[in-house]
Structure 1
Amino acid sequence: MPSPTPGNQPDVAQATEQLAAEEARTGGTRRRSAWRLMLPTLTPWLAIGLFLILAIALFGTIGPFLVGDPSVIRDIGLTGPSSEHLLGTTQTGQDVLAQLAWATRGSLQIGLLVGVLATILSAAFGIYGAYLGGLADEGFSLLSNVFLVIPGLPLVIVIAAFVPREARGWWTIAIVLAITSWAGSARVLRAQTLSVRSRDYVAASRVAGERSWRVITVEILPNLLPVIASQFVFAVIAGILSEAGLSFIGLGSSNSATLGTMLFYAQNGFALSLGAWWWFVPPGLMIALFGMGLSLVNFSIDEVIDPKLKNVRLHRKRAKRIRRLEEAARS
């Protein structure tokens, strides 16, 4: 193979300069759109996370209409997966696939409600208190510190234990979890609001006589949307995992199906010792996959909050492209 001459070798330095110029030009185009700055770049991890969330959400939304009644008892207890029962049956002959579909819907409802309520509480105590300042801020901060000092899981267990069993529905568990999980997010939003409140455009709006709610919603809140979105995703993950833990120890929702109640009944039915893996593996795997999808989305939102994370990824991508140019030059 003849050695390459300098005349036909690619100019790596020139290609690198062109690559940098192209990135600068496209980066300038992106900077002209404020909306694009609020959206994370579609990376493979983000695509996988969105796919997992969408697939599980569709299964929990549409699946209950396609499967049978999960409470029907049959005389074929603990049968493995078959063409008639794709995920087998429980100890009392109930179809595991039907239970999984309804349980996924219940867990998604709890996670969504916990995320919404916890985000609203953290925004109310963190953003509004920091904007008002003075005694209001001190009072809200004191309340947040009290909830942060109290251990979360024991507090949830105590509150859930005092709720009557007949009134322990999925919405009750969601409210209990939301009340005990907003304080940390409120502290983060308070620190961010104190930073944004001192900026010139916020001061100009206050001097112009704008109402407090308008200054918060128009001037302050848009700057906090990535942080709020990240906290919402984290609250959904924490809500689903906390509910599964409560249900596993018998303090979860007693009149609705969730992934945690499936694991609870599988434990009481000695599924592990009997080798009935199809009873406890699907709900556990569903929780793991949904948590993985939300975590991947949360990591992508972190790149919007902290541009340094995005710059590190872009520098690695650029370095790989430069290495490929150098390898092409040596070949």
Structure 2
Amino acid sequence: MTASSSAAPDGPKAGRSPRAMIWSRRLAGMREFWNEFRKSKSGMAGLIFLLIVIVLAFLAPVIAPDHLLDVTTLGHQPKFGPPSWDHPLGTDGLRRDIGVRLVWGARISLLVGFAATAMSMIIGTIVGIAVGYFTGWFGAILMRIVDFFLVIPSLILAIVLAAVLDRGVFTIVIAIGLTSWAGTARVVRAQTLTVSARDYVDRSRVLGAGHWHVIVKHLLPGVLPLVLANTTLTVGSAIISESTLSFLGLGDATKQSWGTVLQNALSDSAATSGYWWYIMAPGLAIVAVVMAFTMIGRTVEVILNPTLRSR
């Protein structure tokens, strides 16, 4: 009776599959991460602001119907009107409300930022792990490719690609994603070298594990926290790059983005004509969103890096 009662508590735990135990540990790690993240005032402030911007961008057709951008129906609105109760952020040279343009522009800017960052992170992670794991001539050739992309300014390459390819949102995503992965690859390579030298990776190799098993089961989980922290910081850089390309006239002129608003302000000589609201509104929007991503990224980096947390 005593033996059966003492063995009973271990029954459910012993019956759990290894996969269930792994997911249980992952969920516990996520909860611990969220609890640590909530303690950061800057991280929570950046996350709340970013969620507000995402909700506004998602609800753009409801908050600011697209007919408000139809210049043929805006004859009653002032041209280059300063901020007022009717137009809190003023109007542009075509009588369009700047606030409406910013709400719609958030969709393109955030879409390009997330999509280009995803492409950059995927390429950088794959190349970084390959360079750090494989030795010999293959790894040396990949490393030289990484060094090439590190030496050449990514913005210059993005401008060249955007100028050669057809103009559009997809082109901007490709131009930014294909030219901004080298920094991630170098960071992932360093982390891959560190993880590869650990004992459990050596034991896995001795037991006959192949390259795919070692990479997927050991190296990739070891570098993912670093990739996650780097991703939140890279999104802000991608948004700035999109704004720069659109400002230079390399974006899709038919789509609203924050860079396009700045490019239109330049074309209308807003800086020299005293239309300060035309420049300040999109400029502050870009700065605020990039700052939000930076605060989130720094908080994630501190949580995942014990050295920074101790400081």
TM-score of the pair, normalised by structure 2 = 0.82
Aligned to 2:54: 57
Q: CA deviation at 1:38?
A: 5.0
Aligned pair 1:67/2:64, yes or no? yes
Aligned pair 1:110/2:108, yes or no? no
Structure 1 stretches of 5 or more lacking a match? 1-32, 313-331
Aligned residues: 277
Contact 2:88 2:99 in 1 (8 A): yes
Contact 1:37 1:304 in 2 (8 A): no
Letter in 1 for 2:146: S
Cα pair distance change 1:276/1:64, threshold 3 Å: farther
Aligned to 2:121: 119
Query: Any idea what SS the aligned residue of 1:219 has?
Result: helix
Aligned to 1:236: 235
Q: CA deviation at 1:37?
A: 6.1
Letter in 2 for 1:148: L
Bigger drift between 216-225 and 232-241 goes to 216-225
Runs of 4 or more, structure 1, over 6 Å off, are none
Aligned to 1:288: 287
Letter in 1 for 2:171: T
Letter in 2 for 1:124: I
Q: CA deviation at 1:223?
A: 2.0
Aligned to 1:275: 274
Q: Greater Rg, structure 1 or structure 2?
A: 1
| Cα distance in 2 for residues equivalent to 1:253 and 1:139 | 36
Q: CA deviation at 1:36?
A: 5.6
Bigger drift between 244-253 and 205-214 goes to 205-214
Bigger drift between 230-239 and 183-192 goes to 230-239
Structure 2 stretches of 5 or more lacking a match? 1-27
Q: CA deviation at 1:258?
A: 1.1
Percent identical residues: 34
Contact 1:114 1:235 in 2 (8 A): no
Aligned pair 1:92/2:94, yes or no? yes
Task: Tell me the C-alpha RMSD between the 2 structures.
Answer: 1.9
Aligned to 1:157: 159
Aligned pair 1:47/2:44, yes or no? yes
Query: Any idea what SS the aligned residue of 1:146 has?
Result: helix
Contact 1:102 1:258 in 2 (8 A): yes
Letter in 2 for 1:45: S
Bigger drift between 125-134 and 286-295 goes to 125-134
| Cα distance in 2 for residues equivalent to 1:295 and 1:218 | 30
Q: CA deviation at 1:63?
A: 2.6
Letter in 1 for 2:140: E
TM-score of the pair, normalised by structure 1 = 0.78
| Cα distance in 2 for residues equivalent to 1:35 and 1:108 | 25
Aligned to 1:9: none
Aligned to 2:224: 225
